[in-house]
Amino acid sequence: MRFVGDEGEGPPDFLARFHGCCVAVEVTKMALESGWPEKYRIAFERELCAVVQSVKDDPRAPRWHVVCSYDPDQPKPPRRNGDWKRRLRTALMRASGGGSLQLIEERLRVGDGVVVEYFPAGNDGSLPFVNEDGAYYVVGAASERIAEEVRRKAAKVTSSPSARSFQGQWWLALDDEVVWVHSGLDEREWQSIRESVGVANEDVGVWSKVVLVSERTGNWTTIWERQGERELR
């Protein structure tokens, strides 16, 4: 694979050969660049995951998909020794249809503060990533967000004369820094996402393959592939 994003104008970002076929790859990063400094986010994410994991390890506890979002104007995560850990564990140990929990005490809260949302899981559940500005994505929202990128990037390809003249397959790689679903969705939920992406791609007719990749976790998965194309290995 060769990076060509700095050569000329327009797509693709990379060129590769796959089973003798020339492949053009467009990449889009599904995360916002602003927000907390990385050291704050990572430290808080570890604390949050530890609480969620302690609940997952308890056989009496329900199973949840847990997601966390914060207002970009909130200057810092909740305090490490704050009451939020006890409140979150209590909420997750209680059987319910799901809910949300504000982690920032009122006197320190800016805008929407820091919110954890939890949804019943059909499997063992998933650990959270922390994202800015309400960026929580479960099945419905993930499908909508990915389909939006499928269409947006396709418009970029079809508007470029050099891209239109390319003879080969077009693949779309979505950097999964917001769509955290690698770790927790069951097959029925994945199928719902695949169907939504398939409908979007049939509308634009550009992509041979749509792949989710995560630089953070090292995970990747093909979420849609045009029938008749060779399977990615």
In a domain, 230, yes or no: no
Tell me how many degrees the CA angle 227-142-91 measures, rounded to the nearest 5.
140
Residue 66 in 3-state DSSP? Answer: strand
Picking from 65-69, 204-208, 218-222, which range would have the lowest pLDDT averaged per residue?
A: 218-222
Whether 126 and 158 share a structural domain: no
Number of domains into which the chain is organized: 2
In a domain, 9, yes or no: yes
Picking from 82-91, 123-132, 215-224, which range would have the lowest pLDDT averaged per residue?
A: 123-132
Confidence of residue 6 (pLDDT cuts 50, 70, 90): low
pLDDT tens by residue, 97-132 = 999 999 999 999 998 899 998 988 876 665 555 654
Preceding peptide of 11 cis, ω within 30°: no
Residue positions counted in the chain: 233
In a domain, 112, yes or no: yes
Confidence of residue 31 (pLDDT cuts 50, 70, 90): low
Residue numbers of the domain that contains 102 = 38-132
Whether 164 and 188 share a structural domain: yes
Domain boundary among 90, 111, 132: 132
Whether 63 and 88 share a structural domain: yes
Whether 90 and 125 share a structural domain: yes
Least Cα distance to 4 among 18, 22, 30 occurs for: 22
Residue 22 contacts residue 168 (beta carbons within 8 Å): yes
